[in-house]
Amino acid sequence: MAHRALVIAMLPAIGLRVLAVLGFPPALLFYGDSFAFLREELTPGTTRPSGYSLLLAVLRPAHSLTLVTVLQHLLGLALAVGLYALLRRRGLPGWGATLLVTPLLYDEFLVLLEHMIMADAIFIVLVTAAIGLIVWRVTPATAAVGGLLLGLAGITRTIGLPLLLLTAAYLLVRRYGWRPLLALVVAGAIPLGAYATWTKAEKGKFALTEADGNFLWSRTMSFADCDVIKPPERLAVLCPRMPVEQRPYPPHWLWESFSPLLKVPGTANRNQLAGEFARQAILAQPGGYLGAVATDLRQLLRWERTAVDEKTPYKFPSAERPISASVRGVAESYEAGPAATRVVEPFAGWLRAYQRFGYVPYPLLMVGLVAALALTVARRRWDALLPALAALALIVAPPFLAAYDVRYVVPAIPLICLALGLTLGARAAEEAVVRPAEEPETVRAR
């Protein structure tokens, strides 16, 4: 059998996902975020776009959170199969392609996110599928589908927006012609424009969210000194009162009662003032800003994802946790019944035990990314450049725009595996330069 290695690898991976479904029904819920996505009334999100809410709305008539998680698990498995097929087309043997998609099949964090009512799993599938499609073959049709997927990723998580621009720049630099580039941009603009128009109709502002300024402001709380910044009076209310060494991690400044951000009335006004303050703080203290980013990025050198005794929402729970009364109705309306996560032993215990070692340490992941970039240049496998740079953007952007979170690195895992596989394949993509006047426009693999 030509694909024996993949079939063998798939069976335990399916087993892990079965354990998640049996051990933690109907789904894992993430603090307030999951309930915001599950609300019955569809409105553009304030702090995050509502693309994932639209998917949940389509599935709502089934009244099954289990259906949502099973769909996400199946999409995760399908993504691994798709990357495997692409790498085989590029000349990797079956065992080699299987080895490179193993992190997608077995990384415990990917299994956890697939089982969680959060946008991350869908975002990972959209981004990786889009970039994989464009890497496989560049035509107006594949560029249009890739652009549409990236546009949908952008209304699922805003960190996806730079990837559409990055992909457009890739097509431009590689000189694939104006038709694929135009198809990518137009198709990507459709979901983004439609969503922004919806926000305009609902909230009076053509935008995807009303929180980009808030998040950047929270980033500056790591270093901001108003004696140095000297903000005008209308921004001074946003000055932190705590000494730098006593300040909590940036996300806490968005929600906690001590945050001066909550003193500013009006969502749009708050976001605008926070953005202005953040830009002034960065210009006045560029060293502090870069130092805060560097401190966050050092977390990538940490070998273990989370310590055994570390409090984090990114673990399969050991005990059932009741849903807060303020949001219980939202989840139970969607489920048409009890919606709190149940912990069913022994399946839950088996998955918790696996979680302690079943992951790719981030230092190894960073080595893989550096290796992919180096091999791209050394072997002139320029098609690997797009997934490698996309992975780099997903990893680096959050500490610059908000803060590091262990969850934000996970979407880069499939892209790094893809980039490495493209550099190691026996067959490279066609190196002929395609210009608008040349035919065919399609750039095929040898």
11 to each of 17, 18, 339, how far by Cα in Å?
10, 11, 29
Q: Is the pLDDT of residue 434 over 70?
A: no
Specify the residue for token string 């927006």.
161
In the block, tokens 């305009």 appear at 200
The pLDDT of residue 372 is above 60: yes
* pLDDT for res 431: 40
When mean pLDDT is compared across 163-172, 296-305, 421-430, the lowest value belongs to: 421-430
Residue 167 near residue 153, CB atoms below 8 Å: no
pLDDT at 204: 85
Separation of alpha carbons 116 and 205, rounded Å: 31
User: What b/e sequence results for 139-174 when a residue is b if at least 16 CB atoms lie within 10 Å of its CB, and e otherwise?
Assistant: bbebbbbbbbbbbbbbbbbbbbbbbbebbbebbeeb
Hey, how many other C-beta atoms are within 10 angstroms of the C-beta on 195?
Answer: 23
- Taking the alpha carbons at both ends of the chain, their separation in whole angstroms is 24
Residue 437 confidence (pLDDT): 37
Q: Within 65-204, where are the H helices?
A: 65-89, 94-106, 108-114, 120-136, 140-154, 161-173, 178-203
Q: 343 exposed, middle or buried (CB, 10 Å; 0-12, 13-18, 19+)?
A: middle
Ranges 196-205, 213-222, 397-406, 420-429: which has the least confidence: 420-429
The pLDDT-based confidence of 305 (bands split at 50, 70, 90) is: confident
Tokens, residue 314: 């990114």
Q: Answer whether residue 35 shows pLDDT above 60.
A: yes
Q: How far apart are CA 221 and CA 298, in angstroms?
A: 18
How much is the pLDDT for 433?
Answer: 35
Q: Is-cis flag, bond preceding 346, omega within 30?
A: yes
pLDDT in tens, 206-263: 889 889 999 999 999 999 999 999 999 999 999 999 999 999 999 999 988 899 998 8
pLDDT > 90? residue 192 = yes
> Would you give the distance in Å from CA 271 to the centre of its chain?
23
The CA distance from 58 to 328, in Å, is 21
Whether 68 shows a pLDDT value over 70: the answer reads: yes
pLDDT of 263 reads 86
Length of the chain: 446
Domain boundaries, the chain: 4-206+304-424, 221-299
**Would you say the C-alpha torsion 153, 157, 161, 163 has a positive or negative sign?**
negative
Contact 161, 215 (CB under 8 A): no
90 close to 423: Cβ distance less than 8 angstroms:
no
CA distance 319 to 261: 35
pLDDT at 428: 65
For residue 430, the model assigns a pLDDT of 53
> Distance (Å, rounded) from C-alpha 87 to C-alpha 96?
9
Residue 444: band (very low, low, confident or very high) from pLDDT cuts 50, 70, 90: very low
Residues 6+ apart with CB under 8 A from 289: 219, 220, 223, 281, 282
**Two tokens at 27?**
């789904």
Cβ pair 377, 275 in contact under 8 A: no
Note the pLDDT of residue 429: 65
At 138 the three-state DSSP class reads strand
Instruction: Grade residue 46 by pLDDT with cuts at 50, 70 and 90.
Output: confident
- Alpha carbons within 13 angstroms on the beta-carbon side of residue 311 total 0
**Do the beta carbons of residue 166 and residue 389 sit within 8 Å?**
yes
pLDDT score at 435: 40
266 torsion bin: left (phi>0), alpha (psi -120 to 50), beta (else): left
In the predicted structure, residue 293 carries a pLDDT above the cut 70: yes
Provide the CB-side half-sphere exposure for 370 (13 A, CA): 6
Output the pLDDT for position 442. Answer: 41
Averaged pLDDT score across all residues of the chain: 92
The C-alpha atoms of residue 425 and residue 78 are separated, in whole angstroms, by: 21
Amino acid at residue number 379: R
Mean pLDDT for 355-368 is 96
Find the DSSP H helices in 208-251.
212-220, 226-229, 233-236
Mean pLDDT of 413-419: 98
What is the residue whose two structure tokens read 């939202």? Answer: 330
pLDDT mean over 409-431: 87
DSSP letter string, 299-355: GGG-SSSS-TT---SSS--SS--PPPHHHHHHHHHHHTS--SPP--TTHHHHHHHHH
Cα–Cα distance measured from residue 76 to residue 201, given in angstroms and rounded to the nearest whole number: 35
How high is the pLDDT of residue 432? 33
Instruction: State mean pLDDT over 65-77.
Output: 98
The answer to whether residue 42 scores a pLDDT higher than 60 is yes
At 60, list the tokens: 């709502």
Q: Nearest Cα to 375, choosing from 330, 422, 336, 441? A: 422
